[in-house]
Structure 1
């Protein structure tokens, strides 16, 4: 068995290409220009870059949420590049995404109970409604949400609570790979710490592979093993976080690091965020604890 769970080679994505009624080909806009990426089993990687660098497009391409125009994608030894939907469906449960805006990804007309129970029944993870309810109850405890949340609608929860529901929905299906796209960008520092600690715990307990998309280098440094730095649809640097942050090989990476107000990131900020939450007092964020 290969150590790599997910690999992509020469990934290109083009938006807007089409043929006119006369048959003339109109070129689209190429967003990714031959990206190579690999994610090992149990590993958490970061994908960073400024807005428009192509990081979100890359993430969606890895999950086959958008089509690629060139290249190949392999998941757990299976080439899924051109796999039809009927054959992709069994793999969907194993490849989950946590979205940046939980309000947009949670059906506003459904209760939290329905949002969490239905995927378990749809994918056959739970054999019946009672078994699904038991699983949901357990995961709510893991994400530190009260059982009373189940009978609420998404708009009745705070932003941090909705993000925990998004995490719970992904974890319930027992995936092998989770893509998290800017999931803490709209949260305060204390809530960021709680959400990131939760993801780290779930990743360890469930043996998840994760890709964490963010523009915030302090977040990537706190949670990831390796990092891919993107610019204009290309990977300009890749390597272990410790090496990339301490001695970047790319001038663009150095520019991103210099853009952090205080580039020395405090590695203990996640722990302090959790301690503050446990004491139920407002946290005192470290000046190095990079917000969004």
Structure 2
């Protein structure tokens, strides 16, 4: 009886101690998940199973479906009126009528969240946009994203939804694509629309890729009024591959602040069992 009581006390102490440690990680985002990809350990979670709009985090799935199709990366794709955002009326610097290699559109969609680029990738998929969206949902099912749904390739539609736990699977899967690792972490890039306007200069929508204190393998930001500001990453922290998912951060810099808090927290607790 004393042994059982002692065991209960040990479990209770470890559990409450772990919770106390996690409570010291003050994440402002409405939902979050921090996952060690090496040992499959969930370091931190907050509303991780709540289904939420994911905005342009969608483009990681867009990239995987595009790459899975093994289409020519050098094929020129022309931006058309069909690629113009008629739902949210978001702006784009890619003029209708301009043409770019498929790999350039993929890079812009990932690093700078270019919506016309993502729309054009879906439109030029074999079978068109509908077939592309079907492939997105099939891919989600295949990698275990059980509570996710995709309706477009850009993330402009708030019916693109997932949980933070599902998005950790999305990030982990996308990390196996070298093109996604390269394109999503490109700090800046320029393309030519093929007219007298000269080159268009783009920068990564995640400022952390330009921070030397971070070693980021995969990165994607997202924003919609319905989704708030979102950020997902795969990064090495204290030598460990860590997936970070942050959803619905309302402050302009909150998602960046949350990511930095996660990094600092892991580094300060690296020797402890729960990290």
TM-score (normalizing by structure 2): 0.33
